[in-house]
Amino acid sequence: MDIEFVRSRFIKHFDGTTGSVYASPGRINLIGEHTDYNGGFVFPGAIDKGIMAEIKLNGTDKVRAYSIDMKDYVEFGLNEEDAPRTSWARYIFGVCREIIKRGHKVPGFNTAFAGDVPLGAGMSSSAALESTFAFALNDMLGLGIDQFELAKIGQATEHNYCGVNCGIMDQFASVFGKAGSLIRLDCRSLEYQYFPFKPEGYRLVLLDSVVKHELASSAYNKRRQSCEAAVSAIQKRHPHVEFLRDANMDWLKEVKEEISAEDYMRAEYVIEEIQRVLDVCDALEKGDYETVGQKMYETHYGMSKLYEVSCEELDFLNDCAKKNGVTGSRVMGGGFGGCTINLVKNELYDAFIADAVSSFKNKFGRDPKVYDVVISDGSRKLL
Ligand code: GLA
């Protein structure tokens, strides 16, 4: 993404002056999917794609926002009843409201922003947008909000203004990202640890199915409800269980007859997935990428057959990886479309990509997109 480009649009759409420029990234996640809102572990990293925004206080109580990509302009006030209808603007509005709810004043500002993180591809374009504005307003207004609270402001924006009851992973990764490192986060205690990730002889690549599921947010919220139903049943016998993280398969089996078959499958996936993150961390410490890859395939199976958040295109890309001897592959992010993340040996990379692209095109009549992963820094001020 180009600062000069964003700046030129800011100058053109407002009064010819310049402001400050901020950026926040999207994320990948090596393993640990749908575990964050279950108090489990996740293992994300920020990427070299994200959102960039130029911002300047405008001396009014209105926000004037221009989306460079959508060529769309929206103006709104910052009281609850001023909520804009335009979906991209609701993210900015939500971030401002969440900051105000925490006792701060947010004055009006002008902003123009652009992004290169693909929308709806499971790389958290919305978290990148939220983190950009949370980080920028905190910095410009000297609010002294800590990094975790910035991530929580983004998450609360999703809950309260965008209808997605997401966990903390995406906003956390966007704010805390560090070039060259993945981050293991314990979503119950919020303890985290950076893991330098430079797998000798391997590459990480994303294959984007370019499938966007319309109902993704309601299906996502439904998954969360299934997990909560399983927790409520387990709690009756084991009162200290607050999240699926605190449970185990034996306790889940005890309540098998008391919950629906669907809720059981969802909970089974989550309990196994939480353990897989820990197994992957152990394997990484030993440089054992074969085990890392095997766990990624297990995650894909679980997300496809138990959690049911895959789709035909993603299953196809996963099979394609297997057929090409790719070390690990799985659907990444919330699912229902988006990307697979693939851990592939350098020498197999070209043949895998060529085969995946051509066979996907044969079957579905369009090209998947290919993104090489560069693990990058989190939210920052550029200018
Ligand atoms: C989305 C949510 C995250 C997380 C993932 C699945 O990206 O925003 O909180 O639950 O799905 O791991």
One digit per residue, pLDDT tens: the chain, 383 residues? 799 999 999 999 999 999 999 999 999 999 999 999 999 999 999 999 999 999 999 999 999 999 999 999 999 999 999 999 999 999 999 999 999 999 999 999 999 999 999 888 889 999 999 999 999 999 999 999 999 999 999 999 999 999 999 999 999 999 999 999 999 999 999 999 999 999 999 999 999 999 987 667 899 999 999 999 999 999 999 999 999 999 999 999 999 999 999 999 999 999 999 999 999 999 999 999 999 999 999 999 999 999 999 999 999 999 999 999 999 999 999 999 999 999 999 999 999 999 999 999 999 999 999 999 999 999 999 99
Same domain, 57 and 179: yes
Residue 345's pLDDT is what?
Answer: 98
CATH code of residue 283: 3.30.70.890
Nearest residue to 179 via CA among 37, 378, 379, 340: 378
Residue 120's pLDDT is what?
Answer: 83
Same domain, 192 and 207: no
Domain hosting residue 118, numbered range: 3-197+377-381
Q: How far is the CA of 328 from the centre of ligand 1 (A)?
A: 20
Name the residue at shortest CA distance from atom 11 of ligand 1.
334
Q: How far is the CA of 270 from the centre of ligand 1 (A)?
A: 13
Q: Are 35 and 273 in contact (CB under 8 A)?
A: yes
Active-site positions read 170
Nearest residue to 357 via CA among 211, 212, 213, 208: 208
Tally the domains of the chain. Answer: 2
Q: How far is the C-alpha of 64 from the C-alpha of 76, rounded, in Å?
A: 7
Same domain, 39 and 184: yes
Name beta bridge partners: 53.
Answer: 22, 113
pTM of the model: 0.97
Number of Cα atoms under 13 Å in the Cβ half of residue 368: 32
CB atoms within 10 A of CB 108: 17
Name the residue at shortest CA distance from atom 10 of ligand 1.
34
Position in ligand 1 atom list of the atom nearest CA 167: 9
Residue 155's pLDDT is what?
Answer: 98
Same domain, 180 and 224: no
Position in ligand 1 atom list of the atom nearest CA 122: 7
Same domain, 187 and 239: no
Q: Are 117 and 123 in contact (CB under 8 A)?
A: yes
Same domain, 153 and 172: yes
> Of 43, 170, 308, 309, which is best to mutate to test ligand 1, by the most ligand atoms within 8 angstroms of its C-beta?
170
SS3 185: strand
Same domain, 192 and 214: no
CATH code of residue 144: 3.30.230.10
> Of 119, 159, 166, which is best to mutate to test ligand 1, by the most ligand atoms within 8 angstroms of its C-beta?
166
> Of 123, 164, 169, which is best to mutate to test ligand 1, by the most ligand atoms within 8 angstroms of its C-beta?
169
Same domain, 128 and 76: yes
Same domain, 206 and 192: no
Residue 375's pLDDT is what?
Answer: 98
Q: How far is the CA of 375 from the centre of ligand 1 (A)?
A: 18
Residues having CB within 6 Å of any atom of ligand 1: 33-34, 36-37, 124, 166-167, 169-170, 333-334
Position in ligand 1 atom list of the atom nearest CA 36: 10
Name the residue at shortest CA distance from atom 8 of ligand 1.
166
> CB under 8 Å to 376, separation ≥6 — which residues?
25, 46, 47, 48, 177, 179
Nearest residue to 132 via CA among 77, 161, 170: 170
